[in-house]
Amino acid sequence: MPLTLRTCATAAEASAALANERGARYLGGGTLVMRDVNEGDLSFSTLVRTSDRSLNRIETSGQRLLIGAGVTYAALLAERELAFLHPVARSIGGPAVRNMGTVGGNLFAPAPFGDLTTALLALDAIVLTQGGYNPREIAIEEFLAARERNASALVLAVSFARPAGPEAFRYRKVARVKPKGGSVLTIAAHLPTSGGRVTGARIAFGAMGATALRAKSAERALEGRPLDAAAISAAAAVALDGLAPVDDALASAWYRREVAGVHLRRVLSGEA
């Protein structure tokens, strides 16, 4: 059955179409949705897209950074103010995927994909959505917990505070194929310090559950302590709390559980 395509001039129009039409699905860069189209997925009958340029904006002037949902990984790599996210963007796909895939789409990428979302979770991002005519700001953790439901709203942008310093944001993607490969697991950590002690740590794991998940026990193990060997060991020991990896073609759940603590230890120690 041919799909109906609705190309909307504005994001508001697109979000209304998503809310009002049964079987409507939003098409961003295409790297996720077109896979389903090509497979003959019958769960949607209308593709909604928008040519609204406001979804492509990147704002770096304020204390909070804002990245439009339609910004591609390639555009993110071209923005010097977002240099701390460049290792994340570079770890995704080949050049063609980076020219197509978008920040907004990554929020919906099923495991083992969604590396950027893992980074955004560690940065405590806010997701700006528009459902019908109602704009909403949702904490990314809450957004991911109800991701299927949130797919009926249009994601406009993500925003987050600049990381505390160049050393405060850490990222590691473990893949079996170099330079491009799906994630065995991905770790992003934001480790602000105050007076030599970690305060407000955020540790996020990708490919260790259906969505990116926070390792809250590991975060608590670091809280208020200097980032020394003892604190790192304490965090690594409880890394798996709350994570729920599954078997896939890249690694078994067992293997992922075995190596999660090892890689977290390397991230926290600042090892390459």
Q: Find all residues with CB under 8 Å of 223, minimum gap 6, and list them.
A: 198, 199, 200, 201
One residue of 17, 27, 174, 207 binding another protein per CB under 8 A: 27
Q: Examine residue 2 and tell whether it contacts another protein (CB under 8 A).
A: yes
DSSP at 156: E
CB-nearer residue toward another protein: 36 or 81? 36
Compute the least distance from the CB of residue 154 to another protein, in Å. Answer: 17
Residue 205: helix, strand or coil by DSSP?
A: strand
* Helix ranges, 25-157 (H): 33-38, 73-77, 86-90, 95-100, 103-106, 115-122, 140-145, 147-150
Compute the least distance from the CB of residue 163 to another protein, in Å. Answer: 25
**Cα–Cα distance between 24 and 4 in angstroms, integer?**
9
One residue of 10, 54, 56, 99 binding another protein per CB under 8 A: 99
CB-nearer residue toward another protein: 14 or 243? 14
One residue of 7, 60, 194, 269 binding another protein per CB under 8 A: 7
CB-nearer residue toward another protein: 28 or 261? 28
One residue of 23, 167, 180, 269 binding another protein per CB under 8 A: 180
Q: Examine residue 3 and tell whether it contacts another protein (CB under 8 A).
A: yes
Closest CA to 17 of 8, 4, 9: 8
Give the total residue count for the chain.
272
Contact track, another protein, 74-93, x by CB under 8 A: x------------------x
67 membership: H or E segment, kind and range: strand 64-68
Compute the least distance from the CB of residue 95 to another protein, in Å. Answer: 5
Peptide bond before 112: cis, by omega within 30 degrees of 0? yes
Of residues 31-70, which lie at the interface with another protein (CB under 8 A)?
31, 34-35, 37-39, 46-47, 49
Segment near another protein (CB under 8 A); pick from 28-36, 145-153, 207-215, 254-262: 28-36
- Judged by CB under 8 A, how many residues of this single chain contact another protein? 26
Contact track, another protein, 140-179, x by CB under 8 A: ---------------------------------------x
Asked whether 258 and 236 are in contact (CB, 8 A), the reply is: no
177 membership: H or E segment, kind and range: none
Q: Examine residue 246 and tell whether it contacts another protein (CB under 8 A).
A: no
DSSP string, 234-271: HHHHTTTTT------SS--HHHHHHHHHHHHHHHHHT-
Q: Examine residue 128 and tell whether it contacts another protein (CB under 8 A).
A: no
Strand intervals (E) in 167-235: 169-175, 183-190, 193-194, 197-198, 202-206, 213-214
Residues of the shown chain interacting with another protein in the complex, contacts defined by CB under 8 A: 2-5, 7, 27, 30-31, 34-35, 37-39, 46-47, 49, 74, 93-97, 99-100, 179-180
